[in-house]
Amino acid sequence: MTATAEAPTAPRDVSAVVAALRVTYESGRTRPLEWRREQLQGLRRMLVERESELLAALATDLGKPRAEAWATDVGFVISEIDHVLRHLRSWARPERVWAPLVTRPAKARIVREPFGVALVIAPWNYPIQLLVSPMVGALAAGNCVVAKPSEVAASTSAALARLVPKYVDTDAVAVVEGGVAETQALLAERFDYVFYTGNGRVGRIVMEAAAQHLTPVTLELGGKSPVIVEESADLHVAARRIAWGKYLNAGQTCIAPDYVLVSAGLEDRFVEEIRRAVFDFYGSDPKASSDYGRIVNQAHVQRLAGLLGDGHATIGGAVDEAERYVAPTVLQAVPADAAVMRDEIFGPILPVVPVDGIDAAVEFVNGCERPLALYLFTASRSVRDRVLSGTTSGGVAVNATMFQVAVPALPFGGVGPSGMGAYHGKASFLTFSHAKAVLRKGPKPDPDLAYPPYTARKERLLRRFL
């Protein structure tokens, strides 16, 4: 089927879908770089030509403001595609490596080849970015792809299922909609690579299913991404950047600041700066602001409402379940064992915890699971070096939040419970590529050095040149 032909949503007979894609892959159709480029260019055209439809779907699902939706879902992926298109030829070129003397005359190289048929499972919070961006990596590497959008963002899922087949090779790319049953059916199939973005509980299920076929996986999970605000920080700038990162998409971001560790003497001043930033961003009534999003569904509103009792809401705290609204909120006097400090919040609630200096902050972070992101606000080089060397996280931003993912040359991924593997830019291409080792030798010369019988002379030579 041509890339411009009309195509229905992929059927739910996932075995047939996967089998058809495998036939395409084994035909060699996806190997040429030109085919790969055509798929990426098709996805780019979709994002540009169908922007209004996609932004409308995001507004329906998450109440995303138009500018925010474009920047974080549509424009983000366009930039990713452009970066990959600029570099794909050089990334795909075989890489020559040194061949030791004992192997010569010989040539050694690394050949990047696709795995085969890849499964990409996306979440609902950035339903375009987190489905299409991994697809970009998979297609750039020459794989066929089954794309599974989240049923929770139902409008965006339907839009993607309708639009993607109009812009790509439908013999090589299939979008499978559905819920738990369809996901379970997909996971029962044998794939050559599985890429999952979501929470750790489902991540374990995905990994267990992949293990049945020894299928490699990338897991992009989440967790509690801490912010450290140290005494030398510019509190006004820090508060604005933290508030922006926290309340973007109503806090439903895997790398959103989850809690703030602030030097004890700065806590009240910092909270007042957050209050000022919230007013500057959303006015006196964020609920009436066209720039503030909504929680994805009422179940998540109820979950977040249950966390508000874990401390004192000195900013916000309002909830309107019918409107799927949770106000930009700051919690203080939060008990260390509270659920809001134990579980990923994934909403617009920001606990602020006072600590006695940078060593206490580092100790606090290291006492928790390794985060997907860590944020530090400081003007001190020694403090920066202390935190960078003394903590482990998927990524770090100093005097910023969120922007580390906007650099396509930086790999994005977690460590331990926050994930395994990485993508974006070249990391995406490498993730979805098998590095095949290739050694080439001619038939002559053929010295008997490596062949039995092993004489004392041969052993001396082997020890010298191996």
- Number of Cα atoms under 13 Å in the Cβ half of residue 33: 12
Q: For the CA atoms of 232, 236, 241, 242, what is the dihedral angle to 10 degrees?
A: 80
Q: What's the rounded Cα separation, in Å, for the pair 105 and 37?
A: 36
Residue 220 is among the residues annotated as catalytic for this protein: yes
Position 179, amino acid:
G
Residue 231 is among the residues annotated as catalytic for this protein: no
- Angstrom CA distances, 87 to 36, 44, 168, 436, 437, stand at 13, 16, 20, 20, 22
Residue 320: DSSP 8-state: E
Closest CA to 292 of 61, 62, 51: 62
Q: Record the tokens describing residue 238, joined without a space.
A: 């820090």
Q: What are the residues facing 220 on neighbouring strands?
A: 197, 419
Q: Record the tokens describing residue 157, joined without a space.
A: 């899922």
Of the residues 68, 177, 189, 220, which is catalytic? Answer: 220
Of the residues 80, 144, 254, 273, which is catalytic? Answer: 254
372-404: b (≥16 Cβ within 10 Å) or e: bbbbbbbeeeebbebbeeebebbbbbebbbbeb
- Give catalytic residues, as residue numbers: 220, 254
